[in-house]
Each structure stands twice: as C-alpha cells, then as structure tokens.
Structure 1
Amino acid sequence: MIPVVDRRTWRVVGNPLVRPTGHGGLDGECVAVKDLFAVAGHRIGAGNPAWLEQAAPEAQHATVVARLLEAGASVLGIARTDEFAYSLAGTNAHHGSPPNLRAPGRIPGGSSSGSASAVATGQATIGLGTDTGGSIRVPAAYQGLWGIRTTHGAVPTGGLLPLAPAFDTIGWLTRGASLLARVGDVLLPPDSASPGELVTSPALTSLADPVVAEALGSIAATGIEWPLAPMPDWLAAMQALQAWQAWQVHGPWLTGRLDTLGPDVRARFERAASLGPEVAEAACEEVARARESIEALLGDGVLLLPSASSVAPPLDDLRALDAVRQATMQLTCLAGIAGRPAVSVPLATPDGLPVGACLVGPAGSDRALIDLAATLEQS
C-alpha cells in the first residue's frame, strides 16, 4: 500500500489498480502506466484536465498493458505525463513536476515523467511509456534509469493515444538491465537484425555539455566521422512533420480549446496549427533523405551518444528549457528519424548527477541491443 499518493506522479493508483491475468516472466513486478495507454475501466487523461473530463472509460486494455498483465505483472497505477506527450521536460502546468529522486530540485524529464519517477522512487518496478522525440531516453538520463525506445513499429500501439505516428514508439524504464530485458522478452518480437561494432562520433558528443561528454568517455568505442552541417535541417524537418501529425491527431479537439494547455505545449500546438500540407510534404522528403544518410553512416553499427545534452536543469530555471530541449533533440532525433531502437544506460557525473549513455542500434536489433547495453553495466 502506498501511504501517501504524490499526485505529481500519479493520476490514479491502487493496491494494485489492476491485478495480473496470468503468470510468467514478470511475476511480482508492478507497472506504472503512462497516461496515454488504455487501462480497462479507466479514462485516458493525456496530462490535460479538459481532455480527461470528456474522456470515456476504456473498454479494454491497450495491447502492451494486456501482455504485461498476462506475463504476471500488475498495474500499480496510471502515471502522469506531459500534455499529449508534447514535451521533454516533465513540468506539467496542471499537476506540477514529478520528483526526481536522483537529482532533487531538478526536472524529471518528460513526457514519460510520471512513469520514470514511479520507478526511480521504488513505487513501481516497470515504467511503461512512449518515446517520440526522446521521452523515454531523457527521463532515463535525468533520473538514473535504464530505458529503451523500441524499433518503430516493433511493439503494437493498439490502445495508445498517439502524438505523431511517424515517430511514436513504445518503451519502458527500469532500475536494472535484467528487468529491462525481461520486459523485452514479453513485448518484443524476435530480432530481425544483429548489432555490429560500437561506434561513436566526437562531433556528436561535443553537442552535449562537457560534463556529459566526459562521462561517456569511459566507454570504449571506435570513432567515426559524422557530418554536423545537415543536422539542423534534419531536426527541423522531424519537428515540422511531428507538429503536422500532432495537429492532424489532436487539432480537431484542440480547436477552440488551446487555452486549456500550459504555455509551452500551447506554443507548440499553435505552431503546428499554422503548418500547411506543403510544409509537411517537404518535411517528409527531408526526413526520408536524412534516414538514408543515417543508414549509410551507421550500417549495422551501434552508435554511442549522450541520451540528453545535459544533466537535468533546475526546476527554478524553466526559462532555459526550450534551449535544453533543442540541444537534446539534436541527439535524440537520430533514432527517431531512422526508426532505430535506442537503449539509455545510466551513468553519473563526478558530482553524482545522473546522465545517460545511449546506444542506437539497427532496426530490429532490440533484444541484442539490451544485451549489449548490459555488458556496459558489467564492465
């Protein structure tokens, strides 16, 4: 029983909220479900009170929730998310910021913020979330957790409220590599590709703060050249296509209701509403070119780069969040554009603040990528 419910972390919580429906490799584990997934009998809130008010209870579980329950896990509760998952900060304007146990006074990272905080504080053992532009990898880095963004399309999204389907993926967070892999045994298909050599780019790593780059320096990897010049165009194209799709998904409901959003998310949706189909078409073409370039650069290689560009920013410096978001998305966009899986491995700065090392592998190599990441923990 959770004696005091922190409403910054949880929207609904039980003891448990939903009991297992079977037995298997996740017996005894408990899940914090991001408030975008259907949990039968409960509404999807999407981090927005106005959306929650009009939502109807879900008739059945999301596919991944059902699979976790069948494997022996329980659902402890429904965890907070940034509004419609359109943020990387975890600073929901309506509910506050879930606590960051490993870095008190700093943001938790979003948009899978509640799921990450529930795991980091020991209330849940598995945080179920999504990653469109970094929403598993960033909270994992900020809170010292393991996290995986799966290959695009590898895990069914039935029962998930989307943001931008071209980039949305399902992921999860744990406190150790072993459980990360056991969840993968339940949710992931067999690998269709094998990861090759671990490589890194000093140019890419230099996009992060020096203290983050220094933490990654302890991991041995082959250096490769990486062109930085086209990356601003790649990121701009991804963000434009993401915005276009987000408005196609949520615009019909948000029209006339933008005032229900917090300032940061509202600004993104206002921009999204201004984009025409010609912008989306050009962005789609640029994303396709970027994907070809990334595949040509990496092949079957596994790219080591920072999971986020900095340690978690302080809660009292929210003005800096847009700059931090842009700097981080220069790194996180690569997996999103290429549809590749990415595993975040927890590291720390000399001062003990959490950072993440991200391994981006070939599409379809999710299980082997987790195993490779686990060898870093052992070494």
Structure 2
Amino acid sequence: MGGVRGAGGAGGREPGGGRGVGEPAGREPGGTEAVDPTVWRVVGDPLVAGTADGPLRGESVAVKDLFAVAGHRVGAGVPAFLAQQGPAPAHADAVRLLLDAGADVRGIARTDELAYSLAGRNPHHGTPPNPAVPDGLPGGSSSGPAAAVALGEATIGLGTDTGGSVRVPASYQGLWGLRTTHGSVPAAGLVPLAPAFDTVGWLTRDARTLAAAADASLGVGGGCGARDDAVGDDGVADDRVADDGVRGDGVRVGGVRGDGGPVPGRPVRGFAVAPGLLAEAEPGVRAAFDHALSCLAAAGLLEDLAVVGLPVADDLLGVFRAVQAAQAWRTHGDWLTRNPDALGADVAARFRWASTITPPAPGTAVAAARRVEAVLGDRVLLLPSASSAAPPRAGGGADDERVRTATMRLTCVAGLTGRPALSVPVLGVERSGSWALAPVGLCLVGPRGSDRALVGLGARWAEELGTVGPPAAKRS
C-alpha cells in the first residue's frame, strides 16, 4: 500500500487539528461519557467534519490507525512508531472519499501492532471489548473500528484486510464486513503490511450502510498493488503492471486497468463450496454453515451450487503466509531492526519468523491464484468467515496462533486471488454459560469487481436467515 511508510518525521504532541482528544483517549469532548482507550486513540465531536451534503451525511467513521488523518499522526498500533511520526499533511484517499460523501470522522481507532495479527490484542493499549461476546476477543487487526461500530460509537469502521483483518472482527462481533477487490480503493496515505494482499474495507451494523460506503469509495482506481514498488522478488512477480491491469504473470492488479480506470465487475454465475477448506473449522461452525446453506437452498436462493475441490488448503496457506511474511519484513524490517523493543511478544515473534523466510520463487503466488480461479471462475465461494466464534480473551500465545492458522486456511483464498469477500452476520454457535448465540460470519468470496453485487446478495440472504449481532447500538 502507498502513502505513509516506515517511521520518520519528528515526534511531538498530537496536533489539535479539530475538536479531538489525543493520546491517550479520554473524556468525549462536549459529552459526559468516558472514551475507552482500548478502542480509540484520538476521538472528537467530530474529529473531522464531512461535506455538508452527501450520501453519507449523518454517518460517523472510526478510522483504523493505519490511515492518515490530516493534522494527526499515524501510530499503527505501536507507541514507538507513533512517537517518530509527524502530523499527516493530508487525508488518506480512503478517508477523503468518505468525508467527500458527507461522513464525519469520529476518531482514530486502535489496531493490532502493524496490522500483523487477527486476535485484536494490543499489549500497549489493551484489548478492545466485544459487545457480542463479552468474554471473547474482538478480532483484528481492525479491532478498534469493529468495536467502535459494535458499541454504537461509530456507524462505519474504516479498516484494512490482508489475511482477514476486516472479515475476522466482523465475524467475531456480528458485523457486516467487506474486504474490497484488491486495488479497487486507493491506498495512498495508508501504512502497508503486505502490498500484494492489502486491501481497504469497511465494517457496519447493517447492509444499507455498508452499501453506501462502498458506493462512495469503489471504482476510482489507483489502489492497492498499482504501485511498482508493491511488486518484488517475493513470490509475486518481477515484472510491472501490464496495459490491461494484469501483472505480466497473470495476477490482476486491483481490478483496475493499467490506465487507472475502473474495470466493470464480472457477473456472478453460481456458487461453490470447497469442503476441503473447512477441515479445521470447529464442528459448531461447520454445522451452522451447513444449516444456513440448506435454508438458502430450500428458499430458492442458492441455485447452481457446485461442490469443488480447490488446491490443498495447506498449500494455499503456505504460499500466502510466505509471501505475506516476505513483504511484511520488506515493509517494516528496517524500522524494526532500528527499534528492536517496539513490539509486544506475539507480533515480535511473528516478525522474527518473517525475517527468516526465504521468499518463494517469483510467480509462486500467481500460480496458486490461477489454480483457484480455474476452479471458481465466476462463482461465489461460500465459507465461514472464521474457523470459530470469538476465542476467549483469557487465552493468548499458542492458543491465538492455533486459531489464527485455522482461520487463515479460510481467509487466504481472497488474499491470493485479490477477490472481494463479504462477511454476513447470519451464523450463530452455542456458547457455554449463555443462552445467546455467538456470531460467526458467512463469507461470500466473489469474482474480482463483484463487491457491490456481494453486498446486495448478502442483504437478501440476511433477510431470509436473520442476523446474529451485538446488542442494540446507542446513537453515535
């Protein structure tokens, strides 16, 4: 992703640039309610006002602390990183698009360190709450935006998704979450992790708000992966963007043509399930998934469903993790070498492992993506959004890593192919000690460019199945 890069610039106090409260988050300006510092880094009333009139007027945005907000620093979930940044001179493009459509930025919300986690933990600021499962993890790395939306403190969470960082918190908290087609939303002003897979996404409590955010932001081109330096000797490709918006080795760059113009979305033609990908999903999740598909089929909403065999899930995950690690180290390795004590134990261990990875041969990820696309074509792949409901907050370490690996078997398909993926909060699993179900998302992985179609499809399915989400929201 482009725009904001490694640590640099002078440290200093958070600029006042609006009616905001800086690090640490404190009392809401003009209100009586304490602001949770595990959710928010900077918050305002609003922090930045949107355009007076626009389709998102009245909506409030929790911006993940990877996106530049003019006049404020970017912290990426790491205090040492934040301390070395200067105020951003301009909004990240993804922020600007929402502001231009009339939404207000409520504040800057927490992220897992450098976005290299799916748990939602942050050792420096604490773990945000999960209103849907109070003793469960919130999911990450878009943990703060998800919690803000689930709590009713914002109506749109602006996040990123590399290996599931929008879909997993959406799944754990019963939210709608869209990972966009790779490159379909501009990435300027965004701290990257693994540019070959990084995407922009949104979290909301309902399909209508998600559709409005997508309409305001999609189809403008120039997004993730459209930069030459996003491509390197790390298993993706060595050549540059071809005229048709496809890397010379066959991976479409962000669903945009080489001239930056939007590419019309391919139509959705049928659905697919791949039982081999579900092997490590928990039994309750598999049962809820199967029941939902049966209900949709009985209602005539799941015509032309094919059972397909994708490449071995472990092979897909191995390629994804190797390329992700190589790019993550290329992105942040120099800064981490200069700041060896900046991270907590879990993410630090992940980066140490990343530093040892030999990048796959150029084209390895491309070949894996081609194998998947040859099977799926224009079908929507249906999966659970995560391998389990929200794991216990009391866990950590090896438990988090086990869940992460099982979930990434599901989430890596969209990352490798650049496909959009929508988490719809319609699955629920029983949880010990509670009559309430724990939410799990039903994930729709569509052809590149089918983002809007997925949201419409998910909305129709949610009307049939009903949703499982957080408690009723207060007004933000």
Corresponding letter in the other structure for 1:104: P
In the alignment, the residues of structure 2 paired with residue 258 and residue 328 of structure 1 have an alpha-carbon distance, to the nearest angstrom, of 29
User: Larger C-alpha radius of gyration, 1 or 2?
Assistant: 2
Counterpart position of 1:318: 396
Corresponding letter in the other structure for 1:192: G
Q: Does 1:361 align with 2:446?
A: yes
Report SS of the residue matched to 1:255: helix
Q: Does 1:36 align with 2:114?
A: no
Alignment of 1:289-368 (within 5 A): 289-319=367-397, 320-347=399-426, 348-351=428-431, 352-368=437-453
Counterpart position of 1:196: 269
Aligned length: 374
Contact kept, 8 Å, 1:22 with 1:69, in 2: the verdict is: no
In the alignment, the residues of structure 1 paired with residue 390 and residue 202 of structure 2 have an alpha-carbon distance, to the nearest angstrom, of 19
Contact kept, 8 Å, 1:8 with 1:80, in 2: the verdict is: yes
Alignment of 1:96-135 (within 5 A): 96-135=126-165
Counterpart position of 1:231: 313
**Deviation, structure 1 residue 374:** 1.0
In the alignment, the residues of structure 2 paired with residue 366 and residue 193 of structure 1 have an alpha-carbon distance, to the nearest angstrom, of 10
Corresponding letter in the other structure for 2:368: A
- Relative to structure 2, which stretch is displaced further, 6-15 or 204-213? 204-213
Counterpart position of 1:375: 460
Report SS of the residue matched to 1:334: helix
**Deviation, structure 1 residue 350:** 4.2
Counterpart position of 2:194: 164
Alignment of 1:254-265 (within 5 A): 254-265=336-347
Contact kept, 8 Å, 2:112 with 2:121, in 1: the verdict is: yes
**Deviation, structure 1 residue 231:** 2.1
In the alignment, the residues of structure 2 paired with residue 274 and residue 205 of structure 1 have an alpha-carbon distance, to the nearest angstrom, of 29
2:285 to 191, 208, 212: 212
Corresponding letter in the other structure for 2:375: L
Q: Does 1:249 align with 2:331?
A: yes
Corresponding letter in the other structure for 2:402: A
Contact kept, 8 Å, 1:48 with 1:260, in 2: the verdict is: yes
Corresponding letter in the other structure for 1:368: A
Q: CA deviation digits over 1:313-351, x for unaligned, max 9? A: 101121311000000000000000000000000022245
In the alignment, the residues of structure 2 paired with residue 368 and residue 355 of structure 1 have an alpha-carbon distance, to the nearest angstrom, of 21
Alignment of 1:28-67 (within 5 A): 28-67=58-97
2:363 to 275, 278, 285: 285
Corresponding letter in the other structure for 1:297: V
Contact kept, 8 Å, 2:171 with 2:440, in 1: the verdict is: yes
**Deviation, structure 1 residue 223:** 3.9
Counterpart position of 2:467: none
Percent of paired sites with the same residue:
56
Q: CA deviation digits over 1:77-100, x for unaligned, max 9? A: 000000000000001111111000
Q: CA deviation digits over 1:138-157, x for unaligned, max 9? A: 00000000000000011100
Corresponding letter in the other structure for 2:457: L
Say if 1:214 and 1:343 are closer, same or farther in 2 by CA, change over 3 A: same
Q: Does 1:12 align with 2:35?
A: no
In the alignment, the residues of structure 1 paired with residue 161 and residue 148 of structure 2 have an alpha-carbon distance, to the nearest angstrom, of 17
Report SS of the residue matched to 1:141: helix
Report SS of the residue matched to 1:11: strand
In the alignment, the residues of structure 1 paired with residue 430 and residue 80 of structure 2 have an alpha-carbon distance, to the nearest angstrom, of 43
Contact kept, 8 Å, 1:198 with 1:302, in 2: the verdict is: yes
**Deviation, structure 1 residue 206:** 3.8
Q: CA deviation digits over 1:135-184, x for unaligned, max 9? A: 00000000000000000011100110100100000000000011110111
Q: CA deviation digits over 1:210-234, x for unaligned, max 9? A: 1111221212342413246x32122
In the alignment, the residues of structure 1 paired with residue 386 and residue 317 of structure 2 have an alpha-carbon distance, to the nearest angstrom, of 15
Contact kept, 8 Å, 2:156 with 2:202, in 1: the verdict is: yes
Report SS of the residue matched to 2:363: helix
Report SS of the residue matched to 1:260: coil
Report SS of the residue matched to 1:109: coil
In the alignment, the residues of structure 1 paired with residue 458 and residue 272 of structure 2 have an alpha-carbon distance, to the nearest angstrom, of 13
In the alignment, the residues of structure 2 paired with residue 113 and residue 183 of structure 1 have an alpha-carbon distance, to the nearest angstrom, of 19
Coordinate RMSD, CA, aligned: 1.3
Corresponding letter in the other structure for 1:146: W
In the alignment, the residues of structure 1 paired with residue 315 and residue 36 of structure 2 have an alpha-carbon distance, to the nearest angstrom, of 41
In the alignment, the residues of structure 2 paired with residue 359 and residue 164 of structure 1 have an alpha-carbon distance, to the nearest angstrom, of 23
Contact kept, 8 Å, 1:2 with 1:15, in 2: the verdict is: no
- Relative to structure 2, which stretch is displaced further, 53-62 or 14-23? 14-23
TM-score, normalised to structure 2, is 0.77
Report SS of the residue matched to 1:315: coil
Q: Does 1:266 align with 2:348?
A: yes
In the alignment, the residues of structure 1 paired with residue 201 and residue 385 of structure 2 have an alpha-carbon distance, to the nearest angstrom, of 14
In the alignment, the residues of structure 2 paired with residue 290 and residue 370 of structure 1 have an alpha-carbon distance, to the nearest angstrom, of 27
Report SS of the residue matched to 1:271: helix
Could you tell me which runs of 5 or more consecutive residues in structure 2 were left unpaired when the two chains were aligned.
1-30, 220-261, 432-436, 465-476
Report SS of the residue matched to 2:154: coil
Say if 1:181 and 1:75 are closer, same or farther in 2 by CA, change over 3 A: same
